[in-house]
Amino acid sequence: MSEEFEIRNKIAESGLINFDLTDLVPKGMRKGIDLKDFLFMEMILKEKDFREKVAAIDAEEYRDAYVYIYNSADAIVPLWAYFLITAKLTGVTKKIVFGNREDLEVLLMHNAVQNHDFEEMRGKRVLVKGCSDKEIPENAYIELVEQLQPLVKSLMFGEACSNVPILKN
């Protein structure tokens, strides 16, 4: 009995596009600036001292980084303080945002999803990878569905062997 068995990759033959959202995560260093480090006794903003500390920032430490500015102190900081730090680093960093690291990642992924060309997926069956070694903000998945829904034939989430159907057009 000599039967030939052909090993076939049915997933590859199905025309299914596997899409990993982590491919859109912008590469680059993330750095935070805590305004409490610029405050007198971590409580009060003294303009002269604040300006001196901002002037002392080595902008090269932030070259091509994604920067988030936040305030971990229980202190009221005037808006112009954010202006000064932003003005110091603009042109050196890739992006500066107000908020924490999570806020930065949400914005970066928003921009990545909104600016990605999904045209190659038009009329196709798409499987969005479910497991990842990078943390992706949940909002990125929501925005991805908004972008893909009018384009794709069908959309699934998970892995090829075990996926959840999301929509069929």
pLDDT along the chain (169 residues), means of 10: 64 76 95 94 90 96 97 91 96 97 97 96 92 88 96 90 84
Q: What are phi and psi of 71, to 5 degrees?
A: -135, 105
Q: Go through 79-88 and write b for each residue having 16 or more CB atoms within 10 A of its CB, e for each that does not.
A: eebbebbbeb
Q: What is the pLDDT of residue 13?
A: 56
CA distance 22 to 133: 8
Spatial contact of 126 and 168, defined as CB atoms under 8 Å apart: no
Beta bridge partners of 165: 156
CA distance 127 to 62: 37
Q: What is the pLDDT of residue 3?
A: 62
Q: What is the pLDDT of residue 38?
A: 93
Q: What is the pLDDT of residue 140?
A: 95
CA distance 160 to 158: 7
How many CB atoms sit inside 10 A of residue 137's CB?
Answer: 19
Q: Against a cut of 0.75, is the pTM above it? A: yes
Spatial contact of 47 and 78, defined as CB atoms under 8 Å apart: no
Beta bridge partners of 157: 128, 164
Question: Where along the chain do its domains lie?
Answer: 10-26+108-168, 30-93
